[in-house]
Amino acid sequence: MTSMSLAPLLERHRLYLLPPIPSLEKGELVLESSLSVPESYTCEEVVNAGGFGKFQWKLTFLSCFAWMAESCELMVLSLLGRFLACEWKITSFQIALLTSVVFLAMGVGSPIWGKTADKYGRKKVVIGTTGIIVLCGILTVLAPSIGWIFAFRGILGFFMHGVSGIMVLYMEYLPTKFRGKYTLFFFGFWGVGSILVTVIAMVVMTTKNSWRLVLFISVIPMVFFLILSKWCPESARYMLTHGKVKEAEDTIIKMAEENGISRPAGKLQIPSDNTERNSFISLIKEGKQLFFCLIYLWFSILFLYYGIVLLAPEVISHGGLPIKSVFFAWLLVETLGRRRLMFMFLCFYSVSVMMLLIDKVPPAIPHILLFVARGSIAGCEGVCVLYTNEIDQESAEDTNQSQEKDNTVRSSHPDLPDLKEEAVGIYLVVFDTQDEESL
């Protein structure tokens, strides 16, 4: 066989010559049933293999601190209205409008910052919105009238959920078996923020009687997080979907080294581009029932939670209860499951609120019932956060699973035909020395 006759054969049948295998005898023909593909890995595989190590502990500290700082900025609203009513004599309508402006702005800003984080990165959005929140918090301290406070707190509310992107970033780096407990551990720091801002208000108003000083101190945790946020890693999933493979590999390798596991071998798999599939319209079309169930669930939980918090400010003084309820959820989340635990918390809340309608009870009973109601709905919100994020990640993984293998093979063999068609195999012919020289 000459090179002139062999070349057209290889071109016509798309055969590939592999290195000789010593164990084969002369003239033996071997049919390989599969292609030799270099070893590859995904982000989830490295995260699960590394467990909960040094990398996760650092990210836990940053995320919990950010969640606590956000709680301080938001929970101070339940106290600010009463402070302003005493000094500026504002009406009940203006007190209600103050919280309404903030939550309306949060509702408008939340989908905007979610889309922006997908386009420009979680870290950039978290740092940018944190800086604006710090600025608006300081400007609120200097506000000369209630109108300016409405404006500054409204802007603050618009950017508030940009900081919440740290929660999504945190969950992306959590191993699957630790995701439930450590997400609830993270959520418990909302209660820590509530306690902190309550203690600050009690001490300052007792000694200095200055609501401006309360607002200034409540923004300090957000300032510290802004300084610490430069050590926050970017989302590897975001970097992969935007073609930043080298940066994603560096982040994954750094996480593996800090967690004490060996450097992953092979290449990092690039998830398929499902921009059209993951659009808002396609989300409604493909998961209509689940989508509207989650919308209703979140509306109900937030309506009940902030109704208790803002309409009964005295419950804030018992801010330790959300921590206890989240700890209770932390113990049972893997045993009862997400949905059963949410159902149980909602039952506790419903019974506590219905018992408030009973007349002629000791004065301490309504406070105890409000105490239990707020703790139950806080625990339910924590489990709902976990459930929603897990549903989203599982959907994304199922969407990409069928295409990741195809992408891996094609990246290693770009000259292969379309892999949607079944590969026939590779033929390997072993010649002796004399035959090789004739070629």
Q: Give 161-192 as a 3 state SS string.
A: HHHCHHHHHHHHCCCHHHHHHHHHHHHCHHHH
Give pLDDT tens digits for 48-68: 887 888 899 999 999 999 999
Cα distance between residue 341 and residue 332, in whole Å = 7
318: Cβ–Cβ under 8 A, 6 or more apart, which residues?
Answer: 371, 374
Exposure string for 259-274, b = 16+ CB within 10 A, e = fewer = beeeebeeebbbbbee
CA distance to 37, 246, 248, 251, 391, per residue, from 228 (Å): 42, 24, 21, 18, 30
Q: Using CA atoms in the order 338, 340, 343, 349, what is the torsion angle rounded to 10 degrees?
A: -80
Give pLDDT tens digits for 197-212: 888 988 998 898 889 9
- pLDDT given at position 436: 39
Q: 211 versus 313: which is more confidently predicted?
A: 211
Cα distance between residue 237 and residue 122, in whole Å = 10
Both tokens assigned to 278: 């993951």
Cα distance between residue 263 and residue 45, in whole Å = 12
Q: Which long-range contacts (CB under 8 A, 24 or more apart) does 391-394 make?
A: 391/290, 391/294, 393/171, 393/172
Cα distance between residue 358 and residue 369, in whole Å = 11
pTM comes to 0.71
CATH of domain 41-272+286-402: 1.20.1250.20
DSSP alpha helix (H) spans, 259-363: 280-286, 288-311, 320-336, 338-355
Amino acid of residue 11: E
- pLDDT given at position 222: 94
Amino acid of residue 384: C
Q: Which long-range contacts (CB under 8 A, 24 or more apart) does 148-151 make?
A: 149/84, 149/98, 150/97, 150/98, 150/101
364, pLDDT greater than 60: yes
**Beta strand ranges found along 14-57 (DSSP E):** 29-32, 40-41
Both tokens assigned to 352: 């506590």
Band of pLDDT at residue 105, cut at 50, 70 and 90: very high
Nearest CA among 215, 121, 223, 105 for reference residue 161: 105
Band of pLDDT at residue 124, cut at 50, 70 and 90: very high
DSSP three-state, residue 30: strand
| 243 φ/ψ sector (left φ>0, alpha ψ -120 to 50, else beta) | left
Instruction: Specify whether the CB–CB gap between 408 and 37 falls below 8 A.
Output: yes
Task: Using the Cα atoms of residue 58, residue 61, residue 63 and residue 66 in order, give the sign of their dihedral.
Answer: negative
Q: Which of 34-48, 76-90, 381-395 has the lowest mean pLDDT?
A: 34-48
8, pLDDT greater than 80: no
Cα distance between residue 353 and residue 109, in whole Å = 31
Band of pLDDT at residue 312, cut at 50, 70 and 90: low
Cα distance between residue 368 and residue 421, in whole Å = 67
Report the 10 Å Cβ neighbour count for 337. 14
53: Cβ–Cβ under 8 A, 6 or more apart, which residues?
Answer: 255, 258, 259, 260, 261
Nearest CA among 279, 197, 273, 235 for reference residue 59: 235
Band of pLDDT at residue 392, cut at 50, 70 and 90: low
Amino acid of residue 172: E
Q: Which of 80-94, 253-267, 383-397 has the lowest mean pLDDT?
A: 383-397
- Across the chain, what does the average pLDDT equal? 74
- pLDDT given at position 149: 93
- pLDDT given at position 198: 84
